[in-house]
Structure 1
Amino acid sequence: SDPKQYIKRLRSRDEGLNSNWGTICTPLEMIALDGKRRKVQTANAKGLFRIIQSIPSPKAEPFKQWLAQVGYERLQEIENPELAQERMKELYEKKGYPKDWIDKRLRGIAIRQNLTDEWKRSGITSEQDYAILTAEISKATFGMTPSEYKDFKGLTKKNQNLRDHMDDLELIFTMLGERVTTEISQKENPETFTESKKIARRGGGVAGSARRQAEKELGRSISTPNNFLPASKQPKSIEND
């Protein structure tokens, strides 16, 4: 069958899909099999899921059931946040992480959430601003921004989470920097982004000083280019923040 005609029929049957097609599916120039550059219709994971919802074929039913299940589980997690923690714990266990590492990782997630809640209270809401403040904490803690840290660890894929590749001490100092930043912000109630940025630098600085002292006692660097899981246990990526 002709994909173009199939999509045309799909859009004609679903007014919502058709009216939002420009944002769901956008043209992107790619190199075709003949070596020439041509624009083809592309969509991200969210867009693909929306398209799947409109496909009448029985073959799409398992995907629709799965989407319904994921949506249902998300509603459960909103009503009971502990479920999200348990599911995340199970996910890390399946990937091969040990219990003590998982406990630290989950605690770090909670500390991070407290920090973003504090930033929201201070009037900071954009993801870009969160990234800037996080970079300030990381730079003061480890001497590297998150993007530099990912390069240091050889993490080249966009969907690879830096903290999932940190060892115990790296996680601990990350938590320290973010927790101290939260405490200072709660104490001083910053009113501007610039003030929050200075606080982020100070909070990370506390963790940075502790890191340097630990390195002096241990005789080695806390930051390591190694990934926490050995290569044999590295989770296979499902490419789609």
Structure 2
Amino acid sequence: MYEEIVQLKIVAPDGKNRETDMASMKAIFRMIQSIPSPKAEPFKQWLAKVGQERIEEIQDPERAIFRAEKIYEQKGYNDEWVAKRMRGINIRNTLTDEWKDRGAREGIDFAILTNEIYKGTFEMNAKQIKDYKNLDNPDNLRDHMDEMELILTMLGEATTTRISKNKNSDGFKSLQKDAKIGGKIAGNTRKQIENKTKQKVLRKENYLNNTQKKKLK
């Protein structure tokens, strides 16, 4: 287990780069499980609870949806946003299932195809949108989108799915063309909205933080 620990230089409180023990989340959880101290017991119980919930979700996928809704509500998202986010997750899963069945690989292929949709929709890829919204790399981009941004993302992905089905696309290159078309269609819709409202659809604001600020006023 301890062979999974590596040392990386990180800025210390004194401002100097010092070697610090680092490990993956999985390795840290395994270390916690191996600690004999009673102080580690709450963490072990939490890990057991999470494991139980994961097994329940595999047996009954609806539990995962219900838990996700509750988590979003606890974070402060309103019901309308949560409904759109959950719908977006469903559309996303349908799309990635199509990609997988038609020859795209999870990971790098999915990331490239998703970026094609983002670029067509918002004229930015995922990283650029995160930078625009001042988000950190681990942040889930869609959790920081407002309702209109989510809707356009759903439109791009749902359109891409339908195009791939209608064309019976096969292989990464064909799917990439579909993603570009789907993104472009969503992008045209965005431009029409911006033309009529005289406002940019993609906003710098973090949706949740912006909502919380409004509640405080």
Common fold: TM-score over 0.5:
yes
- SS state at 2:26 partner: helix
Unmatched 5+ residue regions in structure 1? Answer: 1-16, 235-241
Residues 25 and 162 of structure 1: is their aligned pair in 2 closer, same or farther, counting only changes over 3 Å?
A: same
* 1:13 alignment partner in structure 2: none
1:112 aligns with 2:92: yes
Larger radius of gyration, structure 1 or 2? Answer: 1
Shift of 1:192: 2.0
TM-fit CA distance, 1:32: 5.7
Compute the displacement of 1:146 (Å).
1.0
Code of the aligned partner of 1:55 = I
Alignment match, 2:156: 177
Question: How many Å apart are 1:116 and its aligned residue?
Answer: 0.7
What TM-score do you get using the length of structure 1 for normalisation? 0.82
- The structure-2 alpha-carbon separation of the partners of 1:61 and 1:205, relative to structure 1 and needing over 3 Å to count, comes to same
Instruction: Tell me which moved more, 108-117 or 158-167.
Output: 158-167
Residue in structure 1 matched with residue 173 of structure 2 by the alignment: 194
Residues 17-53 of structure 1 show CA distances to partners (whole Å, capped at 9, x for unaligned) of 3xxx33x312223456777655443112221101111
Question: Contact 2:156–2:186 at 8 Å: present in 1 too?
Answer: yes
Q: 1:57 aligns to what? A: 37
Tell me which amino acid in the other structure corresponds to 1:133. Answer: L
Q: Write the mapping of 1:41-190 to structure 2, written as runs, cut at 5 A.
A: 41-155=21-135, 157-190=136-169
Q: Is the 8 A contact 1:140 1:204 kept in 2?
A: yes
2:134 & 2:198 partners in 1: Cα distance?
24
Q: What's the CA shift for 1:178?
A: 0.4
List per-residue Cα deviations over 1:106-154 (Å, max 9, x = no partner).
1001111111111110121231111111000000011111111111111
TM-score (norm 2): 0.91
Identity over aligned pairs, percent:
49
Rounded to whole Å, the distance in 2 between the matches of 1:30 and 1:101 is: 38
Report the Cα distance in structure 1 between the residues aligned to 2:5 and 2:94, rounded to whole angstroms: 36
Query: Do the aligned partners of 1:177 and 1:206 also contact (CA within 8 Å) in 2?
Result: yes
* TM-superposition CA deviations, 1:191-211 (whole Å, max 9, x none): 221111111000111111111
Query: Residue 213 in 1 paired to residue 196 in 2?
Result: no
State how far apart, in whole Å, the 2-side matches of 1:109 and 1:205 are: 21
Alpha-carbon spacing, 1:216–1:67, altered in 2? closer, same or farther (3 Å)? same
Question: Contact conserved, 2:10 with 2:19, CA < 8 A, in 1?
Answer: yes
CA distance in 2, matches of 1:35, 1:52: 30
Q: Which residue of 2 aligns with 1:9?
A: none
Letter in 2 for 1:109: I
Which residues of 2 match residues 16-55 of structure 1 at below 5 A? Answer: 17=1, 21-22=2-3, 24-30=4-10, 37-55=17-35
Partners of 1:229 and 1:114 lie apart in 2 by 26
Per mean C-alpha deviation after superposition, the further-off stretch among 121-130 and 27-36 is 27-36
